[in-house]
Structures are given as C-alpha cells and as structure tokens.
Amino acid sequence: MDHRISRKDHLIHQWMEHQKEHQLEPLRRKKAKFKHAQERWIALEKTNSLVTEVFPGGCRVVFDADQKTYLCRYRRKRLFQPQNQTYRERTPVAVGDRVLMTVLDDRTGMIEAQGKRKNFFDRKAPGRHQRWVHTLAANLDLLVLIGAIEEPKFNLSTFKPMIETARLKKIPVILLMNKMDLCRDDPSTLQAQIREQIEPLDVEILFLSAKNQMDIDSLEKKLLNQTTAFCGPSGVGKTTLLRKLLKRPIGKVQKISEYHEEGQHTTSVATLYFRDSKTAWVDTPGIRTFEKVESLN
C-alpha cells in the first residue's frame, strides 16, 4: 500500500515538473475546456430542422429538405448545458428551436446541435427538481397569454409573472380573455373592470369567445406571418381556440373538472402547428404555477 502511494507521489511530482518545463498550468487547460462547454449554440445557417414537439426523452422535428416529420433522440454530449449556470433545462431543446439533425432512416433522426435562439419563454420547472427550468417555447414573434372570464375565473396574479418574463425576454405579448359567451352581466362593464386591473402592466388585451367564434377573425389577422405561442392555465380554451383558428381537430379538449373548478391537463406536451409556411402556432400544456426563472438566481 505504502509503496503504491509513494509511487503515485512520484508520478505526480514527475508530472508537475513536466508542467513547469513546458509552462503549461493545469488551470489554463481546464479553462479552455470550460470555454468550449459554454459554446452551446451553433449558427442558424448550420441548422436544418425545426422542433415541433417535445416530450420526455425525445422530440419531433420538420426537416427543411423534405418537409417531413422525424422522430428524434438527442446526442446529449453535444447539447450540453453551460457549466456556469445554477440551473439546468428540463429538456435539451424546446418547441420552436432550430436544430441540426442527422437522418437515421425515413422516420427517425438524431439531434446533433441546437441553433442560436432569438428568444425563449421559460419558467421554473414545477415539481421536485428545484433547480430545473422548463422552456415552454423558443424563437417567438408573439406570445398570447390566454385567460377566461369564467371557468376558471380570471386571476391577474397568475398572469403577472408571465407578462414580466415576456417583457424581460423582449417577446411581444397580448392578453386574450376567452369565454366571453359566459358573461352574465353587461360585457362592457366586465371588460372595463379587467382593463382597469391590467392597466399598470401596459399590455394589449383582447376579448373573445372561441366557442362562439366571436372576434376570432380579427385575432387571426394579428397572428399571420409569425410564430406565436399560446400559454395560460388549463381549461381556458387554448386548444379550442387553436382548433378554430386552424379549422382542424388538433389535440384533446376536455370539460372543466367540476370538483376543482379548474381545467384538467389535456395538452401534456407543447406542439407547433403550421397554418401556412410562414405562420406557426404553439399549443402549450396548461400552466398551474408560473415561477420566474430569476427566482433561481
């Protein structure tokens, strides 16, 4: 045993002498490695696909070359986290990310690297992973936050951290109040009340009803030729609204749970849908709690 330790010491000594001789400090080497690890993004020109769906352990992308969808896994070594971060992302990529994918066969591929993001909308990941971040969508031109006037009842405190996060990330944001058909009193009084509440946050607000197709066309015009994410609590009508906008039966829609008087989680993964080649809409899972990522720092 003693012999082994002294042999080890001898080797360390030899190695240190070698370092001195070649003026190579071990620290400098480490730093170079660290710098490399921070270079997480590749240039957008090098990417070839768009992430349209993210679920545990994999994602779906649309490949630019053939516009087909591929089911992908990750080459995790290349999609590393920056080492100086105090938190890590729940999934290596988010919906809306541009990525470099290698085709494995006609249906599957491997994500090799991630393109530099224009922006991203994220929150502290709910649940037991205290220092994890959940990126809801990346590369957005617009964020539409959806609330309902009833079922579930509008609560400004749910939306405040979302609006603040969007502002911080420089993502334009609109607040949409859905289910206006449920308004029992004079709608203009209710609208005035909500406008007053929201005024200090200085955000554009629209009122509509996905169910009755009320004011959907004017909303659609605002969304053309850009990528928009729809976020908000469960049950406010995100998927219903997207179905009306896309005129096709995407995702699942579920009745409000009467017991909890809140929406049930029906959309469990974020999905990007194309209206046309230039207009894309992201449906996201219902947000129960939204804590800003800054609270981790």
96: partner contacted, choices ligand GDP, Mg ion, none (Cβ within 5-8 A by kind): none
254 Cβ contact partners less than 8 Å away, ≥ 6 residues apart: 235, 263, 264, 266
Q: Determine if 181 is a binding residue for ligand GDP (CB under 6 A).
A: yes
Least Å distance, CB 235 to ligand GDP, is 4
Q: With left for phi above 0 and alpha for psi between -120 and 50, is residue 290 left, alpha or beta? A: beta
Binding residue (CB under 6 A) for ligand GDP from 139, 231, 238, 271: 238
- Contact footprint for Mg ion (CB under 5 A): 238-239, 266-267
256: partner contacted, choices Mg ion, ligand GDP, none (Cβ within 5-8 A by kind): ligand GDP
- Count Cβ atoms below 10 Å from residue 268 Cβ, excluding itself: 12
Q: With left for phi above 0 and alpha for psi between -120 and 50, is residue 103 left, alpha or beta? A: beta
Least Å distance, CB 100 to ligand GDP, is 32
Phi, psi (degrees; rounded to nearest 5) at 44: -60, -30
> What is the size of the binding site for ligand GDP (CB under 6 A)?
22
Q: Which of 243, 229, 236 is nearest to 271 (CA)?
A: 229
Cα separation, 281 vs 159, whole angstroms: 20
Nearer to ligand GDP, 38 or 188 (CB): 188
Q: Determine if 182 is a binding residue for ligand GDP (CB under 6 A).
A: yes
Cα separation, 204 vs 78, whole angstroms: 40
Least Å distance, CB 238 to Mg ion, is 5
Q: Which of 275, 291, 269 is nearest to 95 (CA)?
A: 269
240: partner contacted, choices ligand GDP, Mg ion, none (Cβ within 5-8 A by kind): ligand GDP
In this structure, are residues 162 and 122 in contact, taking their beta carbons and an 8 Å threshold?
Answer: no
Q: Determine if 147 is a binding residue for ligand GDP (CB under 6 A).
A: no
User: CB-based burial of residue 36 (10 Å sphere; 0-12 exposed, 13-18 middle, 19+ buried)?
Assistant: exposed
Least Å distance, CB 25 to Mg ion, is 55
Region 203-232 residues binding ligand GDP, contact defined as CB under 6 A: 209-211
Site string for ligand GDP, 242-281 (x = CB under 6 A): -----------xxxx------x--xx--------------
Q: Which residues would be at the binding site for ligand GDP (CB under 6 A)?
A: 178-179, 181-182, 209-211, 234-240, 253-256, 263, 266-267, 286
